[in-house]
Amino acid sequence: MNVIRAVGRLWLVPVTLVAWEIATRAAGQPFFPPPSATLARMGEMWLSGPPAHLLLTEQAMSDFGPSLARLFAGWALAAVLGVAAGVAIGCSPRLSGYLDPLIHLGRAVPPPLLVPFFLALLKLGTPAQLATIVFGIIWPILLNTIDGARTVDRQHLETARIFGFSTAQRLTRVIVPAAMPKIFAGLRLALSLALILLIVAEIFAGSGGLGYRLLSAQRTYLYADMWGCLVVLGLLGYLLNSAFLLLERRVLAWHRSARQTT
Amino acid sequence: MLEITDLVHSYGSHRVLDGVSIRAAEGELVCVVGPSGCGKSTLLRSVAGLIRPTGGRVLIDGQPVERIPDNLAVVFQDYSRSLYPWMTAANNVALPLRRRGLDRRRRRDAAMAALDQVGLADAAEKYPWEMSGGMQQRVSIARALAYRPSLLLMDEPFGSVDAQTREDLEDLVLRVCAHHGMTTLLITHDIDESVYVGDRVIVLTRSPARVAADLPVDLGESRDQIATRQLDAFVRLRAEVGRLVRGGSPTPTVLEKH
Ligand SMILES: Nc1ncnc2c1ncn2[C@@H]1O[C@H](COP(=O)(O)OP(=O)(O)OP(=O)(O)O)[C@@H](O)[C@H]1O
Ligand SMILES: [Mg+2]
């Protein structure tokens, strides 16, 4: 049943591909290579390596490796900073009184504008790139964590007080778990933003990686390469989101079930 | 053991408790019954140290309650928000025991023993949302038991379960409180329940709450859902409490006996 339903939902994908193929072939524009050519180029670039390396080429390693490392490092860093700061701010009305205006100001700054600033402040390459990613994606994590920590059920907190939980217990066993559904929503949004900012950072603040490949392909009129990068970025975003949903489903099993029963 | 003297509390200018004095001896189960909204929860929260009353004094074992005492446990009415849904029953029960300085194994053992006492040994690994309301409330009681408080506070603990479960839980509380010799303050708006469960029934007046009467319950130690409720003494006391809750004045005959 599930298979049939999945197929039912996926039929639009091949139809679109075929339509695109026909349209691009008919148009014959170099800027719009047919999907088949793009796919062939992608295989050539990234998947024609030795079987020992799972067919991955050297170029695949140098394109994906650093990009994925940056993506995850930036995301993890933003997660740690955002959750820690968010819990602290959410638990302290005084702190949030001071910081709320700053947070909303910071959030309103478009992150790409800060690339030059980070470049001046930090070294070209990884530090400036990470700073760009972290600064760009931390907001949904921070704001959601603050909201989650602020809206913990009063009775959950009173129970913690009655039974004399230590500060650490209160944070790790009550506040963070209670805020987890909101934290996860923030983390998921941040993950999709991270992919965007990764490309921004790689285009403006370094060499190597998918973003750089995309830029150089475009500059050298290698349109099939460029489209290959776009496709792979789309796929990457889709995969990351799916993987994250799986994780979320496991971690927040209590949340989904609790909501279904009450 | 518990001495509440002239407790006064106002929310802003709205006076809720107006000089409430209640005493409970060691091991006694005192029921507080009063009309809805009269300030019962406020009373309990003052005793627990969750709010600072406007006036009056609460002593537990001779110690004034300033912060939340560490020999006190609370069972709230709303079990669905009292247990942590992200933890299994056993972990919910075991979590407060860190404070008792028990290591992981002994916390676990104590939690299992308490769950066993409330008849939930099999449900230790279940999450709250996998359990019925009555089961959740039993976990909540097990958590209080495992904590080994000398004072147990219960705020309408059976207010949101069905009648059959309610009777089972009443018997459970009677059994475990007697077994552990815990002093218990049980708040309820159910007149029947207060008489059935209590060693003493305190009736509060309509808001602002004062003590309308303090009635000893002469029904013996062991109680039975059917037999006890048929006793003349039970019926008379229930009628008396009912009259008082509705704002009537005490009947001399009932008071004269003591
Ligand atoms: N935090 C609060 N702030 C202001 N007023 C409050 C607060 N808590 C309770 N009250 C008011 O105090 C009065 C007594 O409330 P309380 O919850 O103590 O009554 P109760 O006897 O427990 O009621 P119930 O039988 O409905 O549980 C009510 O009129 C209520 O509106
Ligand atoms: Mg109440």
What is the predicted pLDDT for the residue at A1?
64
User: Which residue do the tokens 């947070």 mark?
Assistant: A103
What does the pLDDT average to over B97-112? 91
What is the predicted pLDDT for the residue at B257?
46
Residues 6+ away with beta carbon under 8 Å from A235? none
**Residue B159 falls within a domain, yes or no?**
no
CA triple B212-B217-B220, angle to 5 deg? 175
Residue among A7, A183, A210, A190 at smallest CA distance from A85: A183
Question: Shortest CB distance from A254 goes to which of B99, B129, B143?
Answer: B129
CA triple A203-A208-A212, angle to 5 deg? 30
**C-beta atoms of A258 and B76 within 8 A:** no
B178/A contact by beta carbon, under 8 A: no
User: Which residue do the tokens 């769950």 mark?
Assistant: B115
Angstrom CA distances, A200 to A111, A203, A220, stand at: 9, 5, 19
Say if ligand 1 is within 6 A of residue B20 CB. Answer: no
What does the pLDDT average to over B58-66? 88
Say if ligand 1 is within 6 A of residue B16 CB. Answer: yes
Say if ligand 1 is within 6 A of residue B46 CB. Answer: no
What is the predicted pLDDT for the residue at A261?
56
What does the pLDDT average to over B237-249? 83
What does the pLDDT average to over B227-249? 83
Structure tokens at B133: 């309301």
Say if ligand 1 is within 6 A of residue B183 CB. Answer: no
What is the predicted pLDDT for the residue at A54?
83
What does the pLDDT average to over B63-70? 86
Rounded distance between C-alpha atoms, residue A164 and residue A56, angstroms: 56
- Which protein residue has the closest C-alpha to ligand 1 atom 9? B42
Kindly report the nearest CA distance between residue A161 and chain B, in angstroms.
Answer: 7
Residue B155 or residue A6, greater confidence: B155
What is the predicted pLDDT for the residue at B22?
93
State the DSSP H helix or E strand holding residue B212, giving kind and residue range, or none if neither: strand B211-216
> How many C-alpha atoms does B237 have within 13 Å on its Cβ side?
29
Q: How far is CA B229 from the centre of its chain?
A: 20
Domain range list for chain A? 63-250
Structure tokens at B152: 């147990």
What does the pLDDT average to over B234-251? 82
Supply the pTM of this predicted model. 0.86
Rounded distance between C-alpha atoms, residue B72 and residue B153, angstroms: 7
What is the predicted pLDDT for the residue at B238?
86
ipTM, 2 decimals?
A: 0.87
B70/A contact by beta carbon, under 8 A: yes
List, in sequence order, every beta strand (DSSP E) within chain A. none
- Tally of structural domains, chain B: 1
**Residue B56 falls within a domain, yes or no?**
yes
| A168 contacts A160 by C-beta, under 8 angstroms | no
What does the pLDDT average to over B65-92? 90
Q: What number does CATH give the domain A63-250? A: 1.10.3720.10
Residue B21 pLDDT exceeds 90: yes
Angstrom CA distances, B74 to A124, B33, B158, B215, stand at: 58, 17, 13, 24
Residue type, B60: I
What is the predicted pLDDT for the residue at A147?
95
| Preferred mutation among B84, B126, B153, B154 to probe A, highest tally of A CBs within 10 A | B84
Q: DSSP string spanning A159-177?
A: HHHHTT--HHHIIIIIIHH
Residue B256 pLDDT exceeds 50: no
**Residue B16 falls within a domain, yes or no?**
yes
Residues 185-224 of B with CB under 8 A from A: none
Could you list the residue range(s) of the whole structural domain that residue B11 is in?
A: 1-28+52-68
Residue B255 pLDDT exceeds 60: no
The residue count of chain B comes to 258
| B183 contacts B230 by C-beta, under 8 angstroms | no
Rounded distance between C-alpha atoms, residue A173 and residue A171, angstroms: 6
B68/A contact by beta carbon, under 8 A: yes
Q: Which phi and psi (to 5°) does residue B175 adopt? A: -65, -55
Rounded distance between C-alpha atoms, residue B20 and residue A29, angstroms: 88
Say if ligand 1 is within 6 A of residue B50 CB. Answer: no
Nearest CA in chain B to A168: B98
Residues of A in contact with B147 (CB under 8 A): 163
Question: Shortest CB distance from A261 goes to which of B96, B129, B143?
Answer: B129
Tens-level pLDDT at each residue, chain A (262 residues)? 677 777 777 888 888 889 988 998 888 888 888 888 888 888 888 888 888 888 888 888 888 888 899 999 999 999 999 999 999 999 998 998 899 899 989 888 888 888 888 888 887 778 888 998 999 999 999 999 999 999 999 999 999 999 999 999 999 999 999 999 999 999 999 999 999 999 888 888 777 888 888 888 888 888 888 888 888 889 999 999 999 999 999 889 888 877 765 5
Kindly report the nearest CA distance between residue B236 and chain A, in angstroms.
Answer: 37
Kindly list the strands in the beta sheet with B200-204, ordered across the sheet, starting from the edge strand earlier in the chain. B72-75, B151-155, B183-188, B29-33, B200-204, B211-216
Residue B253 pLDDT exceeds 70: no
